[in-house]
Chains A and B, each alone.
Chain A
Amino acid sequence: MFTRRHLLRTAAAGSVMTASAALLPAWARSANAGNTGIFESRGTAFDLTIGHSAVNIAGHTGHAITLNGTLPGPLIRFREGEKVTLKVNNTLDEDTSIHWHGLLVPFHMDGVPGISFPGIKPKSSFTYEFAVPQSGTYWYHSHSGLQEQQGHYAPLIIDPADADPVQADREYVLVLSDWSFEHPHKVYARLKKDAAVYNFQQRTVGDFVRDARDNGLGPTLSDRASWGAMRMSPTDISDVTAAAYTYLINGHATEDNWTAIFNSGERIRLRIINASAMTIFNFRIPGLPMTVVAADGLHVQPVETDEFQIGVAETYDVLVTPTRARAFALVAESMERSGQVVATLAPETGLVATAPLLREPPVLTHRDMGMDMSSMDHGSMAGMDHGSMAGMDHGSMTISDPVAQTHDHRMGVGVDNVAMVRVSRIDEPGLGLESVPHRALSYSQLRSLVSNPDTRAPGREMEIHLTGNMERYMWSFDGVKLSEITSPIIFHEGERLRVTLVNDTMMTHPIHLHGMFFDLVVDNTDHKPRKHTVIVKPAERLSFDVTADHVGDWAFHCHLLFHMHAGMMQVVSVLPRGASDIADTGHTADAPAPAQPSEERAQPYVQVDKQHEGHRR
C-alpha cells in the first residue's frame, strides 16, 4: 500500500528523523528527513483512516484530527481518467467526510454531508469511487463540522494522461495551513462574542496623534468619524490572526525549518496549496522569480511574478530555477501581516534561509468600504438602467467601470454594509500587494493554456452578493444564511451562465463552487483562467462564466471556514434537462430553456434571472 511504501522508502533512506518528522508522510518531510523532492508514487486504491492524533507543532503537543495519523495527511496521487477507489475509515466518535476539492466527481461522491451524501458515521467506513477528466494540483479535506481546522486536510495530485506540459527536475508540494491550539469551536465562539478578539493591529490613540501630526487634525478627525459612523474598522482584515495561529508549511512551523533541496540550475516545480481554515497568504521567494504555470490545478500560460496572494483553497503551481547555490526563503505571510511561516529552499540541508521581517500591516480604505465616490465616472453610469441592458453584448461590457447600483437583497440584521460603489478589482494583486516594490500577480494576468471548452456567450446572468455583519459575526449570500434558505440556486443542465459576485463586505472572501470549473471574466478572451475558488476583494464586483454540465447538488460557499460555519453557504442545484418546469419553483413562467449552442443564437443577450431581479442595475 501507498503508506507502507512511504515508510519503506524512509527506512531505506536511513535518515535521522525528529519525532515529528517521523510522523509525517514522505512528501511532507523536510530534506533532512529524506525528502529530495521526487515522490511519484501513484496508486488507484487508497485507504484513509480518520482519527484523533497528538501532533507536534512548533515544539508543543496539540490535539488533531488526522488522515492516517499525520498532519497534513497522505498525498493521494493518481493518473487522469483512472478509476480510483478511496476507502475511508472513520474511527472518530463523530461524523466525518472527505471532499475532493476541485475534482469533477459525480455529485454524490463530492463528500458534503447534507448536500451530496449523509456523511460518514462514527466507527464506520465509506468508499468513494470515481474517475475524473482532469489533472493538476488539488487537495482534499473534511466538510464536517470544523475538522478542517483541526488537521483533516492533505494534497492530491492528478498526473495528466498524456505528457505533462510542465516539465521539472524536482517537485515539491507546499501545503500552507494555520494551526490553532485552541479548539476551533472555541475560536469561533470567541469571534461570535467579540469579532475583533484576535485583532491586535487596531488603531490606537497614538495612531490618531501621529495621523493628526502628519495629515492635520481636521482630515484625521473626519477620517475617524467616517469609519466610526459606519461602525467599521480599517484594520478588520483577518478574523483570526497569529494571536491564535501558528502558520505551517507541510506541518512545519518556521522554527522547524522545513527544507527543500536543489542542485543549482535545476528547474523546480512547487505545487502550492492553501489548506488554511481562515488564512489568506501572500507567497514569495525573495530573490527568486516564480513562473506561474497552473492555477487551481489547471494549466495557465506561463507568467512570471515575484509574489502572489493565495486565497484559502486555491492552488498555484510555479516553476523556479535557482542558479545560485544559496538558501532562499519560502515565505507565506498572512494577509493582515500578523505572522508568517518561512521554509528554506537550499542546495543542501542544514541551511536556514533568512526570514524577512513582517511588513507593515495593510489598512483598508474607503474604496474597500465601497464608499469611494472619487473613482466614479458618472458618464459610465449612463445607460445603466435595465432597459438598455437588453440586447447588450457581453463583449462590449467594460468590466473595469465602477458600478453604482441599488441593492435589493435582504437587508436583515445580518447585513451591515452595502457597498455603494462596486468596482472590478481583477487587475489588482490583492490587499497589501498594491505597492510592493516588485511584481505581484493579479487574476487579470492569468490565461488558460488551452482554449475554454465552452465559449458560448452566457444565456443568463445571475448576481449574488456577499454579505455580512462583522459585529454580529454573521455571514451570508444575499443576506440569507444557509440555515435560513428556502430554495437553492438553480442552474439548468447545459446552460451557460454568467455569475456576478458582488462583495458588499469589507473582507476578502475566497468563494468556492463545487463540481465545476468557472471561467473568470478577465476580458473578452477565449482563454479565460478556469478556477474552482476565487478571491473576491472588498467592494469588488467580479464575474465568471460557467457551464452547468454536471447535474446534481453542489455546495457553494466562502472557504473561510468560520464564514461558512456562520452561514455563508448555498446549494447550487444543477437540474437535468426537462426538470426545470416543475422543480424550479418561482420561475416557472420564465425559466430559461437550456442554452442552445452559440451558433444557433443570432444575438447574445443578457437575461436577468427573475430570482435575482432585485440586483438588476
Chain B
Amino acid sequence: MNRTHYLAAFLVLSLGMAGYAKAQDAPIPGSQAEAYWDKDAFKASQDALKEEHGGGSTLFLLADRFEYQTNEGLPALFLGGQGWWGTDENRLWIKSEIDYDLDAGRFEDAEIQTLWSRPIARYFDVQAGLRHDFKPGPSRTYAVLGVQGLAPYWFEVDGAVFLSEKGDLSGRLEAEYEFRLTQRLILQPRAELNLAAQDVPELETGAGISTAEAGLRLRYEIDRQFAPYVGVNWKTSAGETADYIRARGDDTESLSFVTGIRLWF
C-alpha cells in the first residue's frame, strides 16, 4: 500500500465519520422533542401515540340469530353468531352455528370456526383457519378459506371452502340484505347454499348442492344492539343429500317459524 492509498483511506474514513456525526446532530423528523425530555420516557410516549391513533384493537360479539324455531311443529333452539378481536389489519374471527333439538334433547348441529381475518379490499376480508364440527355425525375438522364482506348494493356476503381431514371438499355461500322499513324496523332476507364436491355418506352429504336455506326476519331495534325479531326459515335438501334424508324417513324440506333476538356487544 502506498501513500496515496493511505491518504484515500483516511479521507474516506474522515468523511464517513463527519457524515455520521452530522447525522447524529441533525434533528430526527418527528423526534425533535427528544432533545428536551428524558429519551426513554419520550420514546414510550411516541409508541403510545401510534397505538392510540389507528393502532387499537376492538372486540366484537354478534348473536345474529339467537332463536326459537318450530320445525314443522318440532321445537329447536338455534344460535348463529360471530365475533372478532383485533386491529384494522389483523383479526381473530370466530363463527359458530349451534342447533339444539328441544324435543329430542340433543345437539343436531354444532360447529365452530376459528379464523384469521385480513382485509384484502375496501369491503372484503379474506379469512383462513379451522372449522370443527362436533355434530352432526362423526366430528370433523376442516381447513377453511373464505371471503366475507359487503358487496355492492349493500349485500352482506360470506363464502368459504372447507377441506376436511378426510380430504373432502365442500363450500358455503351466505348472503343477507336489510330493508329499512323505519329507522328501527328492519326486514332481513337471508339465503344460504351448501355445496359438496363429493359424496360423504357418514355425513349424509351428496355431491353438488346439498342444502339450501332461505329466511326472512323482521326485527325491531329497541337499541341498535338489541333487537327482538320474528320470521320464517325454509330449509331444503337436494340431490343425493335429499336421498339420504328420505332414506331415513325424514322430510327433505322444512318450514319453521322463528322468534328470537339479535344482539351485539
Partner-B contacts on A (CB < 8 A): 95, 107-108, 112-119, 145, 189-190, 192-194, 197-198, 200-206, 225, 228-231, 413-416, 469, 471-472, 474-476, 481-485, 487-488, 490, 551-553, 557, 564-569, 571, 573, 575-576, 579, 582-584
- Contact, CB under 8 Å: A204 / B153: no
Among B104-112, B118-126, B132-140, B245-253, the one that faces the other chain is B118-126
Q: Within the complex, what minimum Cβ distance (angstroms) separates B159 from chain A?
A: 18
Bound complex: CA A205 to CA B45 (Å): 49
- Contact, CB under 8 Å: A228 / B152: yes
Partner of B30, one of A115, A119, A565, A567: A115
Q: Within the complex, what minimum Cβ distance (angstroms) separates B122 from chain A?
A: 5
Given A225-B153, A414-B88: A117 in contact with B53 (beta carbons within 8 A): no
| 13 extra A-B contacts, CB within 8 A, seeds A118-B44, A485-B50, A557-B53 | A117-B42, A117-B45, A118-B42, A189-B58, A192-B60, A193-B60, A197-B225, A204-B183, A228-B152, A413-B121, A481-B88, A482-B53, A553-B30
26 pairs, CB–CB < 8 Å, chain A vs chain B: A114-B50, A118-B37, A118-B41, A118-B44, A119-B48, A192-B60, A194-B264, A197-B225, A200-B183, A201-B183, A203-B180, A204-B180, A206-B181, A413-B122, A471-B122, A471-B123, A472-B88, A474-B54, A481-B55, A482-B53, A483-B50, A483-B54, A488-B30, A565-B56, A582-B23, A582-B26
B22 (CB) vs chain A CBs: closest residue: A582
B36 (CB) vs chain A CBs: closest residue: A108
Q: Within the complex, what minimum Cβ distance (angstroms) separates A19 from chain B?
A: 30
Partner of A117, one of B37, B56, B121: B37
- Contact, CB under 8 Å: A553 / B32: yes
Bound complex: CA A551 to CA B29 (Å): 11
- Contact, CB under 8 Å: A579 / B26: yes
Does B202 sit at the interface, judged by CB under 8 A?
Answer: no
Given A206-B182, A488-B29: A228 in contact with B54 (beta carbons within 8 A): no
User: What string of 1s and 0s marks CB contacts (under 8 Å) between B139-153 and chain A?
Assistant: 000000000001011
Does B154 sit at the interface, judged by CB under 8 A?
Answer: yes
Partner of B28, one of A118, A469, A583: A583
- Contact, CB under 8 Å: B31 / A202: no
- Contact, CB under 8 Å: B152 / A231: yes
User: What string of 1s and 0s marks CB contacts (under 8 Å) between B180-201 and chain A?
Assistant: 1111100000000000000000
Partner of B48, one of A114, A198, A205, A573: A114
Which residues, 1 to 60 on B, are CB-close (under 8 Å) to A?
22-23, 26-33, 36-38, 41-42, 44-56, 58-60
A203 (CB) vs chain B CBs: closest residue: B180
Residues of B within 8 A of A583 (CB): 26-29
Q: Within the complex, what minimum Cβ distance (angstroms) separates A403 from chain B?
A: 23
- Contact, CB under 8 Å: B122 / A108: no
Which residues, 77 to 126 on B, are CB-close (under 8 Å) to A?
88, 119-123
Residues of B within 8 A of A476 (CB): 54
Q: Within the complex, what minimum Cβ distance (angstroms) separates A465 from chain B?
A: 15
Q: Within the complex, what minimum Cβ distance (angstroms) separates A21 from chain B?
A: 33
Given A205-B181, A231-B150, A575-B27: A481 in contact with B33 (beta carbons within 8 A): no
Residues of A within 8 A of B58 (CB): 189, 192-193
Bound complex: CA A483 to CA B28 (Å): 18
Bound complex: CA A404 to CA B26 (Å): 40
- Per the CB 8 Å criterion, the residue count for chain B at the interface is 50
- Contact, CB under 8 Å: B37 / A571: no
Bound complex: CA A190 to CA B179 (Å): 21
Given A117-B36, A118-B45, A204-B181: A569 in contact with B53 (beta carbons within 8 A): yes
Q: Within the complex, what minimum Cβ distance (angstroms) separates A316 from chain B?
A: 28
- Contact, CB under 8 Å: A108 / B33: yes
Residues of A within 8 A of B52 (CB): 145, 565
Partner of B51, one of A204, A225, A483: A483
Bound complex: CA A117 to CA B28 (Å): 15
- Contact, CB under 8 Å: B53 / A567: yes
A584 (CB) vs chain B CBs: closest residue: B29
- Contact, CB under 8 Å: A565 / B53: yes
Bound complex: CA A474 to CA B51 (Å): 14
Residues of B within 8 A of A115 (CB): 30, 33, 46, 49
Bound complex: CA A476 to CA B224 (Å): 27
Given A193-B264, A567-B54: A482 in contact with B30 (beta carbons within 8 A): no
Bound complex: CA A229 to CA B123 (Å): 12
Partner of A107, one of B32, B41, B59: B32
Bound complex: CA A482 to CA B119 (Å): 18
Bound complex: CA A205 to CA B184 (Å): 12
Bound complex: CA A118 to CA B88 (Å): 26
- Contact, CB under 8 Å: A564 / B183: no
Residues of B within 8 A of A490 (CB): 29
Residues of B within 8 A of A202 (CB): 180, 183
- Contact, CB under 8 Å: B48 / A113: yes
Q: Within the complex, what minimum Cβ distance (angstroms) separates B46 from chain A?
A: 5
In the A-B complex, the 3 residue pairs with the smallest Cβ-Cβ separation, listed nearest first, are A567-B54, A114-B49, A481-B54
Bound complex: CA A557 to CA B123 (Å): 25
Bound complex: CA A193 to CA B56 (Å): 13
Q: Within the complex, what minimum Cβ distance (angstroms) separates A440 from chain B?
A: 28
Bound complex: CA A481 to CA B54 (Å): 6
User: What string of 1s and 0s marks CB contacts (under 8 Å) between B160-194 and chain A?
Assistant: 00000000000000000001111110000000000
Bound complex: CA A72 to CA B31 (Å): 32
- Contact, CB under 8 Å: B30 / A573: yes
Bound complex: CA A108 to CA B180 (Å): 51
B24 (CB) vs chain A CBs: closest residue: A582
Bound complex: CA A166 to CA B25 (Å): 47
Residues of A within 8 A of B42 (CB): 114, 117-118
